[in-house]
Structure 1
């Protein structure tokens, strides 16, 4: 079968590898014919840095690396809840979705509605992460003010879920101008600036958001900015993926504000996907607004280069297979 993989810093290429067969599918797993795969912000460090960032010991990454957002058709099943022929969406934990076929754990997949095409169905995976994080960590945000730091694909979904869930006002901060998409995602205010510049410009007596979502990740500064921005007794949800095992924390500010710091990681994946499907059913126009670029899988190099240069009007980039 064909597959794509990272071959070096900012470089990926097609490889030919053996096609998985029934003996290659462990209990609780399925073999998918990949129909679509999405690029997540957490995939970008592997693209930028190549194999040395891809694996713990610097070995070459496997076929299909590094995509984990997947929609596909089940062709072999060892999960009794996912029959052969089902079209499913969710996680490819081995990050092997840039391929013709992929062996995937069934617990991270959910059959999706038949009216969705595979590129639109991809929205359910990142949306599941957001719905799960909000449901677990922000139980009382209705009627409160929220600010999302980072208005990339994940940050915009946070804005949408928070506003749809009853947040009084939702603001967003990003270096890229996102004003053109603000109304579609429930943003009342959009600030085009770095988070550090935005926080530095807040007047001492200015009203602070009750909820701050850090949706940038990959460096330490935005967590500090989130703590500085949140209101007394507010809550900071750290969602951005950390690139370092230990982060410095402005503990005195957190303490004196009596604020709460929590983090979002999706554990119950199928339940999260079910919640995302319910949200998408209530907001059927979301997928078309969210997926801004659909490219063929053989354009993976170009897709990564686009994703690595955020731009106005650009959100989720999805790859589809023949």
Structure 2
């Protein structure tokens, strides 16, 4: 059978096309039909640079997806919402197979956890896993570099964890979080910090900036995915100040996806919503342009409604 897909064909260029889909069982995987997606910060550099080697890449770049499981009869199961994380960030397809361990069936009803908030489960799970690596930060003075949606999630958890203070640096975005002190430049920071979170990544390398304002015996978390080219850090200074550097990526989904859903259902998580824009899959090109060009964009959603099977709507 043929399915619709959005294909990355060049720098900043997406095209709609049909491709062959092979339904049926694939060892260790399940078949899903996505119906709502969100553009992640790690999708942006893929969109900007285009397909590697110049060959079109079907379904890329998207990996934050709310889906329905497809039953043995080939039809989506309406009441079986799930988070599905495709391995190659190629989820802009009408249907696809995904490893079973990369899925989580949403336990809450749509009335309890609406789709727009349920889609926060995947990015939130990555932040929660990273915060776990930092350990107890109660009473710590925390700095967040980058206040995109991920940076604001880190700030939210730092405040909830009892940090003595949380400062965010971002030259263009404005935080939605009460209790967060925001500055636009590193030069505006007037002190050092116990914990520094690098949540920028991609087009700039902010790790050295995080290290430079971390106080002796402090912790630095590298979360923003750095550019691929090598970068230097001053290891002598790092050692003399007895800093701890940690990173986090690709968490144990079986642990952190359900943990994130549970948090969103708790009183502390019910007000966490960073959605700013909503498009349909037919507007994928405009959605990605907005995500990379509009400073106000945080979570940009894409509705797959025009592609969905009648039973999945």
TM exceeding 0.5 = yes
Cα deviation, residue 144, structure 1? 0.8
Cα deviation, residue 225, structure 1? 0.2
2:181 to 180, 186, 189: 189
Cα deviation, residue 284, structure 1? 4.3
- The C-alpha deviation readout for 1:78-122, integer Å capped at 9, x for no partner, is xxxxx9952101411132211211211121111112223333211
- The C-alpha deviation readout for 1:145-204, integer Å capped at 9, x for no partner, is 11110000111111111111221211100111414x131xxx4200123xxxx1x4545x
Q: 1:70 — aligned with what?
A: 65
TM-score, length-scaled by structure 2: 0.88
RMSD: 1.9
Q: CA, structure 1 residues 219+16, in 2 after alignment: closer, same or farther (shift >3 Å)? A: closer
CA distance in 2, matches of 1:310, 1:162: 26
* Residues 295-306 of structure 1 aligned to structure 2 (within 5 Å): 295-306=279-290
Q: 2:51 — aligned with what?
A: 51
1:285 and 2:270 matched: yes
| Partner SS, residue 151 of structure 1 | coil
| Partner SS, residue 292 of structure 1 | strand
1:315 to 298, 301, 304: 298
Cα deviation, residue 245, structure 1? 5.3
The structure richer in strand per residue is 2
| Partner SS, residue 178 of structure 1 | coil
Q: 1:242 — aligned with what?
A: 226
CA distance in 1, matches of 2:14, 2:271: 30
Q: 1:163 — aligned with what?
A: 159
Maintained 8 Å contact 2:10/2:54: no
2:200 to 193, 211, 216: 216
- The C-alpha deviation readout for 1:206-242, integer Å capped at 9, x for no partner, is 3x21100000112563100000011111000000112
CA distance in 2, matches of 1:222, 1:68: 24
| Partner SS, residue 287 of structure 2 | helix
2:92 to 98, 109, 132: 98
Maintained 8 Å contact 1:90/1:273: no
Structure 2 residues without counterparts, runs of 5 or longer: 306-313
CA distance in 2, matches of 1:151, 1:109: 28
CA distance in 2, matches of 1:166, 1:284: 15
TM-score, length-scaled by structure 1: 0.86
* Residues 107-146 of structure 1 aligned to structure 2 (within 5 Å): 107-112=101-106, 113-115=108-110, 116-135=113-132, 137-146=133-142
Q: 1:40 — aligned with what?
A: 40
The structure richer in helix per residue is 1
Maintained 8 Å contact 1:75/1:84: no
| Partner SS, residue 308 of structure 1 | helix
Cα deviation, residue 59, structure 1? 3.0
| Partner SS, residue 233 of structure 1 | strand
CA distance in 2, matches of 1:119, 1:201: 35
1:11 and 2:13 matched: yes
Maintained 8 Å contact 1:220/1:248: no
1:254 and 2:218 matched: no
Q: 1:80 — aligned with what?
A: none
